[in-house]
Structure 1
Amino acid sequence: MMTIGRILPVLAASALLALATLSPVALAASQGQVTTQQQGDRLVHEYRLEGRLYAIEIIEGDQRTVLVDADGDGNFRRQPADTEIRPPSWTQKQSQ
């Protein structure tokens, strides 16, 4: 029989593992296709919907940079580092 003291570390490890699986690839179903590239110590995630690039996330060390094409014109603008990446409204109009 497992005690609470033994169960909690197992539950905590399971929760962390579950969060780790919510990577950009796991989120791709709601966001289209996510391509990940490792470039040295830099990790780059490219977010596409129906083949059109709408966001780029760059993680280098503890720095996160988010670039989003907010209106579909191909110009990417830097967003705050804590920005949640979601398809912009122009991608929803295109997919209808």
Structure 2
Amino acid sequence: MRARSPCVYLLASGRNGTLYVGVTSSLPARIWQHRNNVVDGFTQRHHVHNLVWFELHETMDSAITREKAIKAWKRAWKIELIEKSNPYWRDLYAEVCD
């Protein structure tokens, strides 16, 4: 994975746990920030640190559009999206840092 690439991602506190949808231009760096509670906010308060899904985009505009769409989805749709590619809800952080 390139160090800088527009990306939409989903974090979870655990299987079927609390979900968080985000967008970034540097997935490894952003997930590191979440995991290390660098920024006060939702993921820190709710212990949402496991990267369970991500999607790369060509432009930041398309990533932001997709993030907004996913945020408007029902929870069941987000879970279905995760389980299509990650049925066991593995933490994918190590894969994006290689």
The answer to whether the superposition gives a TM-score over 0.5 is: no
TM-score by length of 2: 0.23
Where is the strand percentage greater, Structure 1 or Structure 2? 1
Higher helix share: 2
